[in-house]
Structure 1
Amino acid sequence: MSADTSARWLLLVHQLPAKPAYARVKIWRRLQALGAATVKGAVYALPANADTREDFAWLAKEIGEAGGEAMICEAVVVAGMSDGDVQGLFDSARDEDYARIAAEAREISARLKQDAPDSELAELASQTVRLRRQLEGVVAIDFFGANGRLAAQGLVSGLEAVLQGGDAMKSPQTTPAPGLLAHRAWVTRRGVQVDRIASAWLIRRFIDKGARFKFVPSSGYQPEPGELRFDMFEGEFTHEGDRCTFEVLVAHAGLVDPALTAIGEIVHDIDLKDDKYGHAETAGVRSLIAGIAAPGVDDDQRLARGAVLLDGLYESLALKREA
C-alpha cells in the first residue's frame, strides 16, 4: 500500500519590514482571524483545504502590498512535529478562546440570578448576543473540535434560554425517553477525555448495558438511524447550561444516587475547569484521567481503563455515604 502523500497542512512563511508598525499588527490580526497556528517565528499553519488555500493566498497578497515577502508551502508533515502536535496548537488556541467566552457567560449568569432590574436585563441580553457572535466566530476556526467548545456552547445557549424565558436545563425534544435507550449505538468524538470517558461508563453500567460505542470526527458527522450522540455538537446528550454531559445523562435517566451525583460534580470541575464543587477526590481523578487519556492510547483502551477507575471511585463514594 502506498503512503498517503496528500498535503495535510499549509504553511505561510513571511517577512515584513519593521515599519510601518501598523502593517505588522494588521497581518497578525488577520492571522488570528483565520485561526492560523504559530509553528515557529513567522511560520504559520492551517489545515490544507480549498478555503484555507484561498485565505493564505489573499493574505500573501496583502503582505506583498505592505512591502513584505510571503511563501505558501504544502506539507504532509511539519518537521519536528507529529500531526497530533500540530493539531494541539490549534486546539490550545481555541480552548483559550472558549475559556474566555465561558468565563464571561458565567459572569452574566451570576448577574441574572441576582434578579437584575429590567434596565440591566437589556444590557445583559446585549452582552449575550455579543457572546453568541464571538462564539460563532471561534467555532468557524475550530478546525478539530477543541475540548472547550461544548462547555462554551452550553453556557451561551443556557443564557439565551433564560433571557427568552425558557428552561435552560430542559433536554432537547429530540432526546429519547429513558425507556428507549437499550442496546443502542452511542456515538462520540474521537480522542475521548474525562466527560466522554465518564459518560460512556455511566451509559454502559447504569443506562444501557448493551451499549456499543463509536468514535467519529468532531465535525461533519451525519448520524445513522438509531444512533445516539453524546458530548457532541447537536448531540442528543451534550452540555446544557452549566452542566456537563455526564450530569445531563444522570438527570435524563432519572438516576437518583448520591455517589453518581458526586462523580458528576467531579467530572464537571475537571471538564469545565470552574472549581464549582471542590471535592477532595477531584485532583487525584484529574491526574489519573490524564494518564488514561495519554497520547497513543486509543479510545477503546481509554474507556476500558476509565471504567476501572470509575468503578473504584463509585464504590468508594457509595461506602463513604453509607458510613
Structure 2
Amino acid sequence: MTYKVPPEPAAKRIALWRRLKGMGAVYLQNGVCLLPQTDEHMLQLKILENDATEMGGETILLSTTSLDKKQEAKVIARFEADRDNQYREFLGKCEAFEAKIAKEVAKQKYTYAELEEKDNDLKKLQSWLEKIRNLDFYQASLSALATERMKHCETVLADYAQRVFDANQGL
C-alpha cells in the first residue's frame, strides 16, 4: 500500500500509521508499506484505503512480487527484524516479571493479593506474546526463545502460587 494523507490533523495520520503497524506492516519508506497478501490483510487495507480517502488522502493498493530470491529475502528480513524487536521487548518484560516474583520470594511475601496481581501480569504477557506471534509471518529468530521464556514465566508463577498456598494453608 502506498498512501499520502494530509499532515493535519496529525492524530488521523498517526492513527493510520498505527493501524498499519498493528497489522504487522513494514515500511519501505514514508507512506509505502508491505504486508503478506492474505484475505484478511486485503480487507483491512480496503478499509484503510477508505479511511485515507475520507482524510483527503489517496492510496494505491498493489500486489507485488520480488524480482528474485535475494530481493524477497531482503523484504522477509525486514519483517523478521520488526518482530525480533518486539520479541526483545517482550523478553525484557519477562525478565522484569521474574524479578518481581523473586523479590516477593526473598521477602517471603506470600499473599493471595500478590498472587492475583502476578497472575494478571502473566496473562498480559501471554496476550502480548500471542499478538506478536500473530504478526510473525516468517518465524523471526527470537520466536522460539520468547516461547521458552513464556513457559519459564509460567513455571515461576506456578512455583510462587504453590508457596502462597502452602503459606496460607490453615489460615
TM interval, short-chain normalised: 0.7 to 0.9
Confirm whether residue 30 of structure 1 aligns to residue 19 of structure 2: yes
Q: CA deviation at 1:160?
A: 1.7
1:112 to 1:78, Cα distance in 2 relative to 1, 3 A: farther
- The question of whether the paired residues in 2 share the 8 Å contact of 1:16 and 1:69 is answered with yes
Q: Give the root-mean-square deviation of aligned CA atoms.
A: 1.9
Q: CA deviation at 1:62?
A: 1.4
Instruction: Provide the rounded CA distance (Å) in 2 between the counterparts of 1:23 and 1:67.
Output: 11
Does the residue aligned with 1:128 lie in a helix, a strand or coil? helix
1:78 to 1:53, Cα distance in 2 relative to 1, 3 A: farther
Instruction: Provide the rounded CA distance (Å) in 2 between the counterparts of 1:69 and 1:129.
Output: 40
**How does the TM-score come out when normalised to structure 2?**
0.83
Residue 167 (structure 2) aligns with: none
Amino acid paired to 1:129: K
- The question of whether the paired residues in 2 share the 8 Å contact of 1:13 and 1:71 is answered with yes
For 1:84-99, list aligned pairs within 5 A: 84-99=73-88
Q: CA deviation at 1:126?
A: 1.4
For 1:161-240, list aligned pairs within 5 A: 161-165=155-159
Gaps of 5+ in 1: 1-11, 167-323
Runs (4 or more) in structure 1 with deviation over 6 Å come to: none
Greater RCO (Cα-Cα under 8 Å, separation 6 or more): 2
Of 124, 127, 141, which aligns to 1:130? 124
For 1:43-192, list aligned pairs within 5 A: 43-77=32-66, 82-114=71-103, 115=105, 117=109, 118=111, 119-165=113-159
* Aligned residue pairs, count: 154
Report which stretch shifted further, 122-131 or 23-32.
122-131
**How does the TM-score come out when normalised to structure 1?**
0.45
* Percentage identity across paired residues of the two chains: 24
Pick the structure with more helix per residue.
2
Q: CA deviation at 1:66?
A: 1.8
Superimposed CA distance per residue, residues 86-136 of structure 1 (whole angstroms, 9 cap, x where no aligned partner)? 001100000000010111101111222230622433322211111111110
Superimposed CA distance per residue, residues 225-278 of structure 1 (whole angstroms, 9 cap, x where no aligned partner)? xxxxxxxxxxxxxxxxxxxxxxxxxxxxxxxxxxxxxxxxxxxxxxxxxxxxxx
1:58 to 1:78, Cα distance in 2 relative to 1, 3 A: farther
Gaps of 5+ in 2: 161-171
